[in-house]
Amino acid sequence: MIKLLPKFVFILLLIHQCSLAQVDVVYKDLVWSDEFTTSGTVNATNWFHQTQLPAGGSWFNGEVQHYTDRVDNSYVDNGSLKIVAKKETYTNQSVTKAYTSARLNSKFTFLYGRVDIRAKIPKDAGTWPALWMLGKNVNEDGGYFDALYGTANWPACGEIDILEHGITRSQPDNYIQSALHTPSSSGNTVNIGGVVVGDNIANNYHIYSMNWSPNQISFLVDNVVFYTYNPAVKDANTWPFDKEQYLLLNIAMGGVAGPIDPSFTQTAMDIDYVRVYQNTTPDTQAPANFTASVGTISGSSVELLLKATDDSGNVTYNVTYGTNGTASTFSPSGNIKSLVISNLSQNTNYTFNVSATDATGNAALNNPIALNATTNTILQCSGTDTQSSQGTPFSTGYKYAFETIGTDVKITFELLDADKTGVIAYLWRQSPFAETPMTNVSGKIFTQTIAGQTNGSTINYACKFAFAGGLSVTKYLSYVVGSSCSLGVENPSEIKQFAYPNPVGNSLQLQLADDENHITLTDILGRKVLEEAVKSNHTIDMSAFKSGVYFLKINNSLGIENLKIIKN
């Protein structure tokens, strides 16, 4: 068994720093630990044996063990803690059970930090070894903190499962799981991540870690992140992780872990050390090398590419724009972060003021960086509108349509206002300005064809409706010559839906024909990599996806459309 002697402490710090790029905040100061160096009983200063049965006489999840404070079930030997599950008839609290084990509560609590536990994990059928955490405020009779602090029922207290084994029997050998329990998911949590550990977890030590910041919770094996929990909305429902928690170490038996092997006699979980890190040294170093630039621009969004370095391992970026627009994000030190600002107006210039800070609030010296970007003109082939640019406001509105025929573009406008009579129409060109009479097709429908247009160029036109007693002018509408978007809003199933740019780098912009859409993204092998409900304008962050071919399925009231997406 490996133990770190004092003269080798710097090696620990070096290993700890290797995870810098793996987590959002690097916690460097050791604030609590148990190295299990003294053989015999478990250190009572650090640990409490939780033995009281829940109401009804059985532990949760159908478990069948008694937890005891006996040396038979937990002790320190040869530099490691042994938690032992045994098959034996044992009576306690007037209840007899066929198995015993131990469940330890740490007497130490903390808010934010990193936990490293070096352990061997038993794999016997029907066992459920776990390294985990609960909120200090959990209302659980018999827990160490319950009498003074137990005000919140589970899962409102929040549960962080650093490691579980034995409850995922369909997974491969040496598969371990981490999970988060919150009121939003309760016992049916979907916030789960797992990984197959390379070496046999029962015979070899591995370091199982949890890195907990105000931003996210990451889980690691041997300093490599395999799962991160970071809900978009952090409230009491999804993020009860803003209060102190304590550690639990135990082996449960049976229940959701499945049938216990009939030949089982006993097994042990060996724990070499438990270490908790926080940042107690004042952080005075501000983010450095702060840069910001504009990435992909669409008609309704602008991508900002942000980068800075900081000794804390994480940089927070805050953005202000427009009248009251704000956005924020964070990224590991030295990484380029793509932040897409959405819901912008088309063909509009925006100034984005971007600032970089660290977790302590230290600000980059060159804050803020001002970036200017003008959104594109959103393609408009046909539709209905009410906006006027001059004259009398429209009472109902108008329809418009653009259609490319060879090198010509046919433009059609229809006035929908019933209160206007004697209507004639003129086509207005925006630049250089020109006014051309339009041909009446029928009723209040007028058309005009402009010849000799260049495919791919953008044209801008409006229509002036003149009528008895006044005039009304539509807004200017932009159209890309050669665009094949459908005409006639009465047949919405023919309206095109767009995903761009394609090939894509970091951000895929969606412009969909419905306001309620269900999208699924699969890789070339058919494996689902993303599934969510989105609005008509949506951005998919593809920065973490590997290069290759993907297939985007769009399902809405208009039907199903499949798009091929190439990731650079």
Contact yes or no for 437/423 (Cβ under 8 A): no
Q: What pLDDT does 5 receive?
A: 33
256-279 mean pLDDT: 97
DSSP assignment string, 42-62: --TTTEEE--PPPTTSS-GGG
Contact yes or no for 230/215 (Cβ under 8 A): yes
CA-to-CA separations, 119 to 42, 105, 183, 252, 253, in angstroms, rounded: 16, 17, 30, 17, 19
493 versus 422: the higher-pLDDT residue is 422
How far is Cα of residue 4 from the mean position of the Cα atoms in its chain?
A: 37
Q: Which CATH superfamily hosts domain 288-374? A: Immunoglobulins (2.60.40.10)
How many residues would you count in the chain? 568
Q: What is the CB neighbour count within 10 angstroms for residue 128? A: 23
- Judge residue 244's burial from the number of C-beta atoms within 10 Å of its C-beta, 0-12 exposed, 13-18 middle, 19 or more buried: middle
DSSP 3-state of 13 = helix
Phi, psi of 65 (to 5 degrees): -100, 160
Please indicate, yes or no, whether the overall pTM of this predicted structure exceeds 0.75: no
Task: Report how far residue 53's alpha carbon sits from residue 43's, in angstroms, rounded to the nearest whole number.
Answer: 23
| Domain chopping of the chain, boundaries | 6-278, 288-374, 382-480, 492-567
Domain 492-567 has CATH 3.40.50.620: no
Domain 382-480 has CATH 2.60.40.10: yes
Q: What pLDDT does 502 receive?
A: 77
Q: What pLDDT does 547 receive?
A: 82
Contact yes or no for 371/304 (Cβ under 8 A): yes
CA-to-CA separations, 354 to 320, 341, 362, in angstroms, rounded: 7, 12, 15
553 versus 446: the higher-pLDDT residue is 446
Residue 516's pLDDT band (cuts 50, 70, 90):
confident
125-152 mean pLDDT: 97
Topology of domain 6-278, per CATH?
Answer: Jelly Rolls (2.60.120)
Quick one: CA torsion of 238, 239, 244, 249, rounded to 10 degrees? 50
Topology agreement, domain 288-374 and domain 492-567 = yes
Q: Which residues contact 192 (CB under 8 A, 6 or more apart)?
A: 177, 178, 179, 227
Sign (positive/negative) of CA torsion 195, 198, 200, 204?
negative
pLDDT in tens, 372-422: 999 876 555 778 888 888 899 999 999 998 888 778 889 999 999 999 999
pLDDT in tens, 325-353: 888 888 888 999 999 898 788 778 999 99
Q: What pLDDT does 375 receive?
A: 84
Contact yes or no for 237/182 (Cβ under 8 A): yes
Q: What pLDDT does 19 receive?
A: 40
